Amino acid sequence: MEKIDKLDKIASVLGEKKKIALICHINPDGDTVGSALALYTALNKLNKKADVFSSDELSPKLKYLPFSDRFNISREIKYDLAIAVDCGDKGRLGVMSEIFDAADTKMCIDHHKSNTLGSDYSYIDPSISSTAEIIYSVLKKINGLTFDRDIATLLYAGMLTDSGCFTYPATTAQTLKIAAELHACGIDAADIAYNIFKKKTKNAFELEHRVLSRTKFFAENRIGIAVFFLKDFEETGTGQEDTEGLVNSIQSIDSVTAAVAVTEIDALHYRVSIRTKEPADASDIAAVFGGGGHRLAAGCRVGGCLEDVLEKIVKAAKDRLD
């Protein structure tokens, strides 16, 4: 009953507010973008003034989604309501935290267990497969709103992203029921999956081949780490957006329990993506470095020279595997 009451309250607040900012997390993925754009589309159908924001540019694969060109069009700062979508802490809002802070009312809709973002209203449920699944439930509470193909496509893309194509443990019968309902709205599920998970350029393929060939293994092959250097991007004509998905290739190795992709930002800063298998918890490893995420997928940033960074990551992972 408590969850139902919270959904009703979230829907009620959305109905009351006229000018709403929807803010994605940094390095936006399909869940935060699909969720925010689904809300954006629904709110505009209800004659609200809604704008979407992201501190970082969307990757080419996410620009496939409906209304992906609507990000950061508005230059306004002050909103009746600002919603942090799929975002667990203030730092993950990036420079758009200014808009969140300036809003009369603040809201957070998320499914990260590590959520520390304070707000006036929140719906945070780590047991749910994706924030998009929560947004679906919120939108179902709004009287007079009908799901069109665009809203269904956006929600399905978000659910597909954070459920690992409906393979992660948080995928439930309810998740699949919602996916079926969205499918009935006329979406092209195969095309969504191809564009978000499979489509890549030849240059991206060459980057993946180069980096995977350098993968190193630790702790009796239970930990696998691949490193992307800035020179890899320069020499293959790729960008950091082309790193997505490679860590899953390492995770697929039968002996590997913790797979890690380390991406060079500059000589002393690295972005780290972590994927684990049960019983290891990726968010616990990321939390060592101030990051967070989900049990099987998390991320953080680590500073220092590469040798020290790798040593720290291996120790943090090994301590949580033993």
Q: What is the pLDDT of residues 58-70, one digit of tens each?
A: 988 999 999 999 9
Query: What pLDDT does 2 receive?
Result: 60
Same domain, 108 and 174: yes
CATH code of residue 94: 3.90.1640.10
Same domain, 50 and 15: yes
**Residue ending a domain, choose from 173, 197, 221:** 197
Same domain, 156 and 208: no
Prediction pTM value? 0.89
pLDDT in tens, 174-212: 999 999 999 999 999 999 999 998 899 999 999 999 999
Same domain, 281 and 232: yes
Same domain, 192 and 208: no
Query: What pLDDT does 4 receive?
Result: 59
pLDDT in tens, 66-94: 999 999 999 999 999 999 999 988 888 99
Strands in 269-276's sheet, in edge-to-edge order, are 216-218, 223-228, 258-266, 269-276, 297-303, 292-293
Share above pLDDT 90 across residues of the chain, in percent, rounded to a whole number: 84
Same domain, 127 and 9: yes
SS3 for the chain is: CHHHHHHHHHHHHHHHCCEEEEECCCCCCHHHHHHHHHHHHHHHHCCCEEEEECCCCCCCCHHHCCCHHHECCCCCCCCCEEEEECCCCHHHHHHHHHHHHHCCEEEEEECCCCCCCCCCEEEECCCCCCHHHHHHHHHHCCCCCCCCHHHHHHHHHHHHHHCCCCCCCCCCHHHHHHHHHHHCCCCCHHHHHHHHHHCCCHHHHHHHHHHHCCCEEECCCCEEEEEECHHHHHHHCCCHHHHCCHHHHHHCCCCCCEEEEEEEEECCEEEEEEEECCCCCHHHHHHCCCCEECCCEEEEEEECCHHHHHHHHHHHHHHHHC
CATH code of residue 316: 3.10.310.30
Bridge partner list, 227: 262
Distance, CA of 285 to CA of 2 (rounded, Å): 31
Q: Is the pLDDT of residue 322 over 80?
A: no
Same domain, 232 and 185: no
Using the structure block, give the residue that is written with the tokens 């943090």: 316
Query: What pLDDT does 113 receive?
Result: 76
Domain that holds residue 113: 2-197
Distance, CA of 46 to CA of 48 (rounded, Å): 6
Query: What pLDDT does 1 receive?
Result: 40
Share above pLDDT 70 across residues of the chain, in percent, rounded to a whole number: 98
Q: Is the pLDDT of residue 52 over 60?
A: yes
